[in-house]
Amino acid sequence: MSSAVLAATQSLRLGTAGWAVIAVYSGAMIALGLYFSRAATKSANGFLIGERSLPWWVIGFSNTATYADSGGGWVWLFFVGGFMYLNQIAWIAWPIWMPLVGVFWAKMWRRTGLVTTGELIEFRYSGRGAAVFRGFFGVYACLGWATVFLGYGTAMLAQLLAPLIGWTPFSVVLVFGAITLTYTLMGGLLGAAYIDVPQFFIFFVAALIVWFFGVQEHGSYAALLERAMAARGADFWQIFPPSAGTNSYVGPATFFALILIGLFLAGSPCAGEGWTAQRCLAARDERHAVFGQMFSCVLSLVVRMIPLLPLGVLAIAMFPAADAGTRETMVLADGSTAPSISVWSQLVVRYADRIPGFGGLLVAAVLAGYMSTVGTLLQWGSAFVVNDLYRRHVRPHAPEREYIRVTRCVMIVMMALATGLALGIENIGPWVFFINAAMIAPALPLSWLRWFWWRFNVWGEIFGILISVPLSALVWFGLEWKDRPAWQPTLLLLGVGLGGSVLVSLLTKPESRQVLRRFYRQVRPPGLWGPVRTALEAEGLVDARQRRLERTWDLRAAGCGIVFCFAITWAFFTAVLLRWAASAALLLVGVLSGWAYYACWLRSYRASVAGTEATGESEMPGEGVPAMCGVSDKGGR
């Protein structure tokens, strides 16, 4: 980490009360992990997938807490680039992919009855190649995705927290990483998911209190906003894309690229195919999976940001940018300068002594954001290695306790590797967009191809997965395309992944009809499944009319869901700027489109139930899936 960041921020004077709050928080997290350990360690599936018992509200809070941090990262991004920087990072792509996952992928994942997304490889594809690649994928996803994300999150923690408490980055990661590792080792998925709920409220309430103190200092929020708007040009405050004037974050080409990214992010390991899919697999049933995802839409896009964007306004009002172009540095109250990445730390130091122990609560908020992310990533990444490699290929007959022990060992290794990566990241800026979009761009088309096209095969899957991280790293860092407009590396990586995966599939043999028939009957996906669907319809195994009805209502629900997500997002953004008329109009659109989404989804669900009843298909499949995927009681294929 840059020594300039460490040197630029005052340390908190926590005192006895502050450290007591941190100690109580840390002890409470470990106690919760211990509480959930009994239920989580009854079986390997209990540890990895929570015995499919997660309710919708836990899914929503857990997903959102994992996406979030204490607020420091988002406050910094808003300070640097305003609404359009947020649009570039997430608020164009996310209002698209989140409702699409809620309509299509959430129910398809739950219908599979699998334990990990890696297990889908043998469920969707056939042959020795699929079996071997599933084992390889278990290691690849753990190291290439989960551990890299973990290192990124740990670097963010170190750069935010080390200056605040006066510790070295290594000490921060060692102590608080160990606490997170401890409760995750005990509680498994159940512990990680349920502990995310109080963590969400901790960082939400702490940020809200800081904002309150800021408004109190300036007299009113209106006065605060006026001062902030005077400090930046009008173009900085643009809300609706594409960019105009001097605002260049989301030009027309980048806007188009981000829309494409949003359509495909259901296949992202940090979006629809990562811990989101894992939570869907762990849901009580298909309805809980769908409602959990849509609840996450509201929490992620709006609710978690309610205190954070006004805090960004507060930071802009208080700390003028030292360099108007990049805003990498800011001017402090005493006239000195500091890196803008420390803006959250500066706010925390300013208001931490207003209430006894409040500084400790703010540190706990930083830790809550970090721990929720780390606990999820440790559990998610280790599940790949154990379920898709160890239990499938190495020890298929091992006792359940052995699988849990191996899972815990993998978590420890992941934490050690992520710590080394985090301490080697000096500038977190280029990593933000790389982690959130560029790194996984070549693999994104897989989310559509594997689910919606019968001709796609395991070799196209292998191509898309294997080139994803190395090609993205080469383009982003090796060729330094990170300095180009965002649309250029995005479209290049997406195009290579899509074109290559399709071409490889067409040049190789299709999957066996037996595997495709089984997959279609159980998952009931929409899309280009003509030959498979036609044969099943001819045999009376698929109700064609009900499937068409389900598809029609799904498409309508998806459209309404996207409108809903953009409407509530823009209603909130305009409210931040006190544009009440525009906010009210957008909120009305949000309410109407949200109601329409629910009505369309309900009709789709009824059509799905009617179709399964008419053909005798199981509405809650999955009991026989492990045997088909090579994890049966008899061991292997």
Q: How many CA atoms lie within 13 A of 301 on its CB side?
A: 30
DSSP letter for 527, please: S
| pLDDT tens digits along 96-121 | 999 999 999 999 999 999 999 999 99
- pTM of the complete model beyond 0.85: yes
Give the model's pLDDT for residue 633. Answer: 36
Higher pLDDT, 377 or 159: 377
Sign of CA dihedral 271, 275, 281, 286: negative
How far is residue 457 CA from its own chain's centroid?
27
Rounded CA-CA distance 532/516 in Å is 7
| pLDDT tens digits along 3-44 | 334 334 567 888 889 999 999 999 999 999 999 988 888 888
Q: Which fold is adopted by the domain 1-40+54-81+125-250+284-431?
A: Sodium/glucose cotransporter (1.20.1730)
Nearest 5 degrees, angle CA 585-CA 591-CA 594? Answer: 135
Nearest 5 degrees, angle CA 385-CA 386-CA 391? Answer: 125
- Nearest CA-CA partner of 387 in 371, 372, 404: 404
**What's the rounded mean pLDDT across residues 505-531?**
95
Is the pLDDT at 243 greater than 70? The verdict is yes
Give the model's pLDDT for residue 240. Answer: 95
Residue 577 near residue 111, CB atoms below 8 Å: no
- Nearest CA-CA partner of 67 in 153, 181, 141, 155: 153
| pLDDT tens digits along 554-606 | 999 999 999 999 999 999 999 999 999 999 999 999 999 999 999 999 999 99
Q: Where are the domains of the chain?
A: 1-40+54-81+125-250+284-431, 543-632
**What's the rounded mean pLDDT across residues 596-617?**
86
Rounded CA-CA distance 255/241 in Å is 7
Residue 421 near residue 151, CB atoms below 8 Å: yes
Stated length of the chain: 637
Rounded CA-CA distance 194/192 in Å is 6
Assess whether the previous peptide bond of 526 is cis (omega < 30° from 0). no
End-to-end CA distance of the chain: 48
